[in-house]
Amino acid sequence: MPFNTLDYLIWRGDLPFRASPINLVDQFIFSQLATPDYTDIVSEGTQQVTVEEAAKAYFETHSDDYRSIGVLQSPYILTMFKELCRTERFRHVVLCGYGSRTREEKEEQFAAVTIRLSDDLTCVSFRGTDDTLTGWKEDCNLAAMDKVPAQRDAVAYLKRAAEEYPGRLMTVGHSKGGNLAVYAAASGPKKIRERIVSAVSFDGPGFREDFLNSKGYLEIRDRVVTVLPQNSMVGILLNMAGTPCYVHSTVKGPFTHDGFNWEVLGTGFVHEEGLGFFSSSMKDILAETLDGLTDEEKATFIDALFSGMTDTGARSVSDLAELPLKEKVSMLRTMKNDPRLGDFAGRIMQAVRTVLPDAISELI
Other beta carbons less than 10 A from residue 312's beta carbon: 15
Beta bridge partners of 110: 101
Contact 97, 161 (CB under 8 A): yes
**Mean pLDDT of the 287-294 span:** 72
Query: For strand 168-174 and strand 121-126, is the pairing parallel, antiparallel, or unpaired?
Result: parallel
Task: Convert the pLDDT of each residue in 62-84 to its tens digit.
Answer: 887 766 666 667 889 999 999 99
Write down the pLDDT at residue 131: 57
Contact 85, 56 (CB under 8 A): yes
Write down the pLDDT at residue 109: 82
pTM confidence score: 0.86
Is the pLDDT higher at 149 or at 88?
88
Q: Is the pLDDT of residue 364 over 50?
A: no
Least confident of 27-36, 102-111, 113-122, 339-348: 339-348
pLDDT band at 104 (very low <50, low <70, confident <90, very high): low
**Mean pLDDT of the 233-245 span:** 89
Q: Across the chain, what does the average pLDDT equal? A: 85
Closest C-alpha to 232, from 250, 253, 263: 253
201's enclosing H/E stretch is strand 196-202
Q: Is the pLDDT of residue 102 over 80?
A: no
Closest C-alpha to 234, from 345, 347, 139: 139
Least confident of 61-65, 245-249, 287-291: 287-291
Least confident of 37-51, 187-201, 249-263: 249-263
Structural domains for the chain? 5-275 (3.40.50), 282-363 (no CATH)
Quick one: how far is CA 267 from the chain centroid?
A: 22
Q: Is the pLDDT of residue 360 over 60?
A: no
203, exposed or middle or buried, with CB in 10 Å at 0-12, 13-18, 19+?
buried
Q: Is the pLDDT of residue 133 over 90?
A: no
Write down the pLDDT at residue 257: 87
pLDDT band at 196 (very low <50, low <70, confident <90, very high): very high
Contact 259, 28 (CB under 8 A): yes
Is the pLDDT higher at 362 or at 284?
284
Write down the pLDDT at residue 142: 73
Contact 22, 197 (CB under 8 A): no
Task: Convert the pLDDT of each residue in 14-29 to its tens digit.
Answer: 999 999 999 999 999 9
What one-character-per-residue DSSP string does 131-178 give? SBHHHHHHHHHTTT-S--HHHHHHHHHHHHHHHHS-SEEEEEEETHHH
Q: Is the pLDDT of residue 308 over 50?
A: yes
